[in-house]
Amino acid sequence: MPEPVPFGERLAAVFESRGHLCVGIDPHAFLLEQWGLPDSAEGAREFGLRVVDAAAGVIGILKPQVAFFERHGSLGYAALETVLVAARGAGLLIIADAKRGDIGSTIDAYGEAWLRPGSPLEADAMTAVAYQGVGSLAGPIELARAAGKGIFVLAATSNPEAVSTQTAVSIGSAQTVAAGIVGGVDELNATAATLGPIGVVLGATVDLADYGIETGRLAKTPILAPGFGEQGALFDDIPRLYGAASANLVVTVSRSVLRAGPDGVDTAIARTAAELAEATAV
């Protein structure tokens, strides 16, 4: 069998052909109600499929938030599997926002669930937590490399509760916790031809300088960037926030387009993609 195309190369190709916008599939209870759908696994499935239809051919990346399917139990996971199949069929790159983290065989199993080719939950990338250290993700990282998949590791997130933990200085180093994660991930991408397979999550609503993070060093590291749209960050601020690393950015929005409803979400996605392209044009 041919070697899989590395995730970083596939991501770079999406950036080139369909831009940097990523839309979240977040079937909140209030959004299901607004869309006239039941707050159930069936409603979440229909919601997800409509977002896939609206995104296909317009943008290149979707990010299903696993928790909103998981809350419906086994039927919710079945709904998510259907949405993932539809997204793959539409040629969309899928980032499963699962935020998994653990050690040993447990984290390996999480990687198998979300990154193994042929898994019912197969995605192109997953989000992960490195509270136990970047090295704790060695199993999923190895799988990602072998299977042409990606991982985005939380580093500087957009929620205010995380500031004290993520800006704390690690014992024996002059680095913050967030900067240590970013540095550890960046090293994993050193040999990549373009973008590497392992990325970081850097929120757009935080001042990365306060975290000791130098974005200029992230030439080969993909960045998943939440905080735009409903959370207040503006596309015009991207060059200031991320500097040279802006070219590596997966810009995520969800509620700001999903609030448009089933009849308006396609227009909202297209408009947002155009606004992002205009704001970041060189």
What pLDDT score does 282 carry? Answer: 64
What pLDDT score does 5 carry? Answer: 96
Domains defined for the chain, CATH in brackets: 7-25+100-279 (3.20.20.70)
Q: Provide CB contacts within 8 A for 159, sequence distance 6+.
A: 203
Angle at 22 between CA 245 and CA 81, to 5 degrees: 130
What pLDDT score does 95 carry? Answer: 98
Give the count of beta carbons closer than 10 Å to the beta carbon of residue 277.
Answer: 14
What pLDDT score does 230 carry? Answer: 85
What is the Cβ-side half-sphere exposure of residue 206, based on CA atoms within 13 angstroms? 25
Give the count of beta carbons closer than 10 Å to the beta carbon of residue 161.
Answer: 8
What pLDDT score does 227 carry? Answer: 92
Distance from C-alpha of 66 to C-alpha of 55, rounded to nearest angstrom:
18
What pLDDT score does 92 carry? Answer: 98
Sign of CA dihedral 11, 17, 23, 25: negative
Q: Provide CB contacts within 8 A for 54, sequence distance 6+.
A: 265, 266, 269
Distance from C-alpha of 29 to C-alpha of 22, rounded to nearest angstrom:
21
Tokens of 30: 């209030």
| 174 CB burial (10 A radius; 0-12, 13-18, 19+) | exposed
| 223 CB burial (10 A radius; 0-12, 13-18, 19+) | buried
- The DSSP result for 108-152, as a single string, is HHHHHHHHSTT-TT--SEEEE--TT-GGGGHHHHHHHHHHT-EEE
pLDDT digits (tens, 9 = 90+) for 24-50: 999 999 999 999 999 999 999 999 999
What pLDDT score does 2 carry? Answer: 78
Task: Specify the DSSP class assigned to residue 177.
Answer: H
Q: For the CA atoms of 77, 81, 87, 92, what is the dihedral angle to 10 degrees?
A: 80
Give the count of beta carbons closer than 10 Å to the beta carbon of residue 281.
Answer: 6
The answer to whether the CB of 118 falls within 8 A of the CB of 87 is: no
Tokens of 227: 């905080």
Which of 222, 187, 182, 186 has the alpha carbon at shortest distance from 7? 222
pTM for the full predicted model:
0.97
pLDDT digits (tens, 9 = 90+) for 174-189: 899 999 999 999 999 9
What pLDDT score does 281 carry? Answer: 84
For the chain, 282 residues long, give each residue's pLDDT as a single digit of tens. Answer: 678 999 999 999 999 999 999 999 999 999 999 999 999 999 999 999 999 999 999 999 999 999 999 999 999 999 999 999 999 999 999 999 999 999 999 999 999 999 999 999 999 999 999 999 999 999 999 999 999 999 999 999 988 899 999 999 988 788 999 999 999 999 999 999 889 999 999 999 999 999 999 999 899 999 999 999 888 899 999 999 999 999 999 999 999 999 999 999 999 999 999 999 999 886
Tokens of 272: 């947002």
Q: Which residues are catalytic?
A: 99
